[in-house]
Amino acid sequence: MIFFNAFILSGFICMLGQIILDNTKLTPGHVTSLFTVGGAFLSFLGIYQKLISWAGAGATVVISNFGHMLYQAGIEGFHEFGILGFFSGLLTKSSAAIVSAVIFSFLFALIFKPRD
């Protein structure tokens, strides 16, 4: 059942992104930012963790999970070290995701021929 839930949730997020791209003048970068902020907002409301429990990888693979991860890291750092811990928490928790995205993007650009 978890596979079905993952398919439904990630498919819904992708469908929502495609509807936004088709019906507005927003670029993919805008939609990515919108989903990241939406993930952080859902995490703030306590909904995103329930989505992860319900859909597993369907909620942790999509870009909205990055917003959730940033929010959780910032809050943990804030509770541990105060206001400076908020920023250090953001950097320590998200650095692995950011570095891996840059490295994988570079490797795929070497393997495949990127176009404009």
Nearest to 89 by CA among 108, 70, 107, 111: 70
* pLDDT band of 116, cuts 50, 70, 90: low
Q: CA-to-CA distance for 27 and 50, rounded, in angstroms?
A: 29
Does the global pTM surpass 0.95?
Answer: no
Q: CA-to-CA distance for 68 and 79, rounded, in angstroms?
A: 17
Token digits of residue 97? 């995701």
pLDDT digits (tens, 9 = 90+) for 78-101: 999 888 888 888 888 788 878 988
Task: Please say if the pLDDT value at position 5 is more than 90.
Answer: yes
Task: Please say if the pLDDT value at position 115 is more than 80.
Answer: no
Task: Please say if the pLDDT value at position 16 is more than 70.
Answer: yes
Distance linking the first and last C-alpha atoms of the chain: 40
- Overall size of the chain counted in residues: 116
Amino acid residing at 15: M
